[in-house]
Amino acid sequence: MARTGILPLIGAAALAGCSGTSEAEGEARWTSGSIEDLREAIGERAEHGLDRVRFEVPEDAGSAAGQTAMTKAALLYASALARGASDPGELYEVYTVPRNDPDLKAGLAKALAEGDVDDWLDSLAPHDGAYEALSKAYLALADKKAAPSPEIPVPEEPLEAGDEDPRVPAIARQLAASGYLSGAVGRAAGQRYSEEMVAAVKRMQADYGIDPDGIIGKDALEILNFSDADRARALAVAMERLRWLERKAPDTRIDVNTATGRLTYWREGKVADRRKAVVGEPGHETPQLGSPIYRLVANPTWTVPRSIEENELAGKGAAYLRANNMARKDGWIVQQSGPENSLGLVKFDMKNDHAIYLHDTPAKALFDEVQRQRSHGCVRVEDALGFAALIASHAGLSEEWTAARETGEETFVALPREIPVRLLYQTVVLDEEGTPSVHADPYDWDTRVARKLGFGERARHVLKAGAQDVGP
């Protein structure tokens, strides 16, 4: 393998973390076999989507300086596998999802002593089904050389309702993959641009701030059209995001994918529930948090944050406050309990410094949207009362929860065990067949990760912001 320099993304900070030689490192030396294992592992880094990241393996490891340089190279690559080649804490203002953080120096020393550097490196990346599916799909695209040209050529004349065109089946499949068209319709589409497809395109255009005329031209195809290069980029970013995470997530937890507006409730290692979620709109993005639910709140009140008061309620008079069951209390605007409260009839209280939590909402229509990035940052849960009843039942609190609801007043029900919640952002998800499907990047959060992995920019339309109510 050709020896090349380290890209700037690795940087001095990464090297500083593995500089010097510890006692553990001094106990074992690099042999010709161990060096070859490292070179082969780095040569196969495409299986992790790291083929655009360069790692330097020194030619000569015979001297003390060479041994130290070899150790640095190994720890650098090991860190990319174990923690990611990028640091989400540097990429995002907020990132508190639990990270993977093994003792790489001790692990390398042991691997060198036992002569199994290749096995040790192989153990560092995730080994779950999702990661393996992403890796397989990425390698398949790498074999095709990831063509940069769009899959669907831009038509010389825009496609209008009723037009016949050989590109229609590919357009239908991507509309289905993006959630705008049912999978059955997408798979069965012929070459006629049908009224059902026109309606789907209109919904998509409205989401992205394009005139919803249903005509497929350059702008519409820019949203739908993923080249092989675009897919490879998304898959590499998805693997990187998985490398950030702790390898053994809690068996009982709630994961919210803010990129797709989906909530998954895991109980004792199995999926117990899935439902839609409405999350923060662009400009009010839901942060990537690890934060537990510690209590249920029946009939919650809502204290309006200063930002919403100043930006959206400024100039609203007493009549508006009365109409929305709001009143000033200790200098704050507080909305009283009730079905029209912006938190709905249940709040899932979480422990974090960002005032982020899960809750009900009176704005039920938002769950019918394809792009559900429509809140001011908190997570609205579809059929939140049903979800709360499920949580209470599993916690042995059904009677207490029912009694709390019946008070009609704000009432707190503490959970005997906190439920970890991970607010994640993943634009590639597995479909029912286990095949990776690329979705929209509503916050444009993939771009900063892609840059760190050596990928360029992708032409795109940004999801149109516009929360439809003042709720959190």
Q: What is the pLDDT at residue 321?
A: 92
Q: Give me the residue spans of the domains in the chain.
A: 11-125, 250-438
CATH: 2.60.40.10, 2.40.50.100, 2.40.440.10, 3.40.50.2000. Which one for 250-438? 2.40.440.10
Q: What is the pLDDT at residue 134?
A: 97
Query: Taking a C-beta distance cutoff of 8 angstroms, is the pair 196, 176 a contact?
Result: no
**What predicted TM-score, i.e. pTM, was given to this entire model?**
0.86
Phi and psi torsions of 415, nearest 5°: -85, 140
pLDDT tens-digit map of 281-313: 999 999 999 999 999 999 999 999 998 999 888
Instruction: Read off the pLDDT of each residue in 147-169 and give the average, rounded to a whole number.
Output: 80
Instruction: Read off the pLDDT of each residue in 360-381 and give the average, rounded to a whole number.
Output: 93
User: From the candidates 18, 284, 378, 439, which is the catalytic residue?
Assistant: 378
- Burial of 309 per CB tally in 10 Å (0-12, 13-18, 19+): middle
Known active-site residue 359: yes
Provide the pairing of β-strand 293-298 with 346-350.
antiparallel
Q: What is the pLDDT at residue 149?
A: 56
Known active-site residue 394: no
Q: What is the pLDDT at residue 78?
A: 98
**Closest by CA position to 159, among listed 212, 112, 248, 221:** 221
User: From the candidates 48, 284, 359, 376, which is the catalytic residue?
Assistant: 359
Grade residue 431 by pLDDT with cuts at 50, 70 and 90. confident
Percentage of the chain exceeding pLDDT 90: 67
pLDDT tens-digit map of 49-103: 999 999 988 888 888 899 999 999 999 999 999 999 999 999 999 999 999 999 9
Beta strands across the sheet bearing 326-329: 302-303, 332-335, 326-329
- Residue 437 predicted with pLDDT over 50: yes
Q: What is the pLDDT at residue 7?
A: 36
